[in-house]
Structure 1
């Protein structure tokens, strides 16, 4: 599959006349709980020629789209963000983008952009927005799939992971790791809850269907308690975000020069 992805990335560069700076795997494979038949979610950041930026219409407006989205099939979902879009989202502490920076499955990386971007993360880190994002993700999935006595049991991972990410930020005040395994080991203490989650994870990795089953009380109790507690914790935060725009402008210009010099 890696060969197919590499070929597709080269085709995208030629088709759209761009340079890809970074391409990774996201989603369940990067999080550490894919099924054997999970598709591949490839995400990338790219940059246009300088002339594309030197025009009266800003990027993202009209025909100047700031995303590239290839047709999705059963095996591969591939899309990318233009560099200035990525940097604006970085400024907002966009959680999916920050997860891209932590993916262990890297398909392509060239130039100094990503390392320079990572070095600025402390300048943009703002826990409030990330906490709200992850908590809302947990609440929505819990409300949609895990109510009642019979539940969509595989959805537990889409509730547990964002809750553990919130607890990581609460504990360490830094961006959480992408790996569910690391979050689980560090955040949940040994005991019944951890054993239940590990058992569920083992079944999912072995590709059990994990469709409709009886709810797991110990996990539901944990989720309900943490959602309520985290809502109060977020309300108590009094953090003023920094404005890293000048640094991000410099990073964009330096990258434009490095790629197209």
Structure 2
């Protein structure tokens, strides 16, 4: 059985639409989907009343299809319809991205909202991530994400759409969380947990708590000048990240590639060989 964990404010008709879309993908592409979760603002912990449903999944092809001389695309994308967005990555792609420090691949594993998750698959993938994810690579991802959002949304002397603050504070908080934990590389996905565990300045915590509460009951937070406390927090954490983490992502070592290959083969066995009669749906 795949486990489910859904938020009480999620619309039943949207959940049913996601389930239908996943069933159609399994049938049309002949793949197993042992992992389907919610990403975006609902999973991060700061949804609005009209937030989209952003289902993300990892799919696994039958083993023989990984041996083809002409491999298929490593993503499955479906049309965005209304507030429904359902897309996924091939298991092989998810592993490669994780090894390269893509924090999205890591965050999916800790999503609190699950449409259908094989918990053994998730636990194994999370254990692999905790061993294989490189802190410098992950930090490089968050640093690039933070700088990109600042460049896109911050203009000196101009107001900012307040909801955009979440997309700048999240990577800064993740960098702080990593900096305070020298032996860790997998930061929490849920924003409230991330903020609590990174222990930001009290003023920053108060501002973001207020924005979360307001965002939960309104479709539009409006625009205002970015609070000075938030700007100072961003500047400090990105500066400290530049000083703490390597600027260049280290190359993968032979041992890392071999460990990734073993994990990949183990997951193929788990999904397609160990339980051949089990519906991975």
Q: Deviation at 1:16? A: 0.8
Change (3 A) 1:240 1:203: same
Report the Cα distance in structure 2 between the residues aligned to 1:235 and 1:87, rounded to whole angstroms. Answer: 22
**Deviation string, structure 1 residues 204-223 (Cα, Å, up to 9, x no partner):** 12225123223312211222
Partner SS, residue 244 of structure 1: helix
1:181 is aligned to 2:189: no
Choose from 171, 175, 178 the match for 1:162: 171
Extract unaligned runs of 5+ from structure 1: none
Partner SS, residue 139 of structure 1: helix
5 Å matches for 1:2-81?
2-57=15-70, 59=71, 64-81=72-89
TM-score by length of 1: 0.89
Q: Is the 8 A contact 1:67 1:80 kept in 2?
A: yes
1:257 is aligned to 2:269: yes
Q: Deviation at 1:178? A: 0.4
Q: Is the 8 A contact 2:174 2:194 kept in 1?
A: yes
Extract unaligned runs of 5+ from structure 2: 1-13, 274-281
Q: Is the 8 A contact 2:101 2:141 kept in 1?
A: no
Report the Cα distance in structure 2 between the residues aligned to 1:259 and 1:154, rounded to whole angstroms. Answer: 40
Q: Deviation at 1:12? A: 0.7
5 Å matches for 1:181-220?
181-189=192-200, 191-220=202-231
Q: Deviation at 1:73? A: 1.6
Q: Is the 8 A contact 2:31 2:61 kept in 1?
A: yes
Partner SS, residue 65 of structure 1: coil
Equivalences, count: 256
Q: Is the 8 A contact 2:149 2:167 kept in 1?
A: yes
Report the Cα distance in structure 2 between the residues aligned to 1:237 and 1:87, rounded to whole angstroms. Answer: 20
RMSD of aligned residue pairs (Cα, Å): 2.2
Q: Is the 8 A contact 1:93 1:124 kept in 2?
A: no
Q: Is the 8 A contact 2:94 2:105 kept in 1?
A: yes
1:120 is aligned to 2:128: yes
Q: Is the 8 A contact 1:67 1:82 kept in 2?
A: yes
**Deviation string, structure 1 residues 24-46 (Cα, Å, up to 9, x no partner):** 00111111111110101111111
TM-score by length of 2: 0.83
Report the Cα distance in structure 2 between the residues aligned to 1:111 and 1:171, rounded to whole angstroms. Answer: 29
Change (3 A) 1:4 1:238: closer
Q: Deviation at 1:56? A: 2.1
Residue of structure 2 in register with 1:100 after alignment: 108
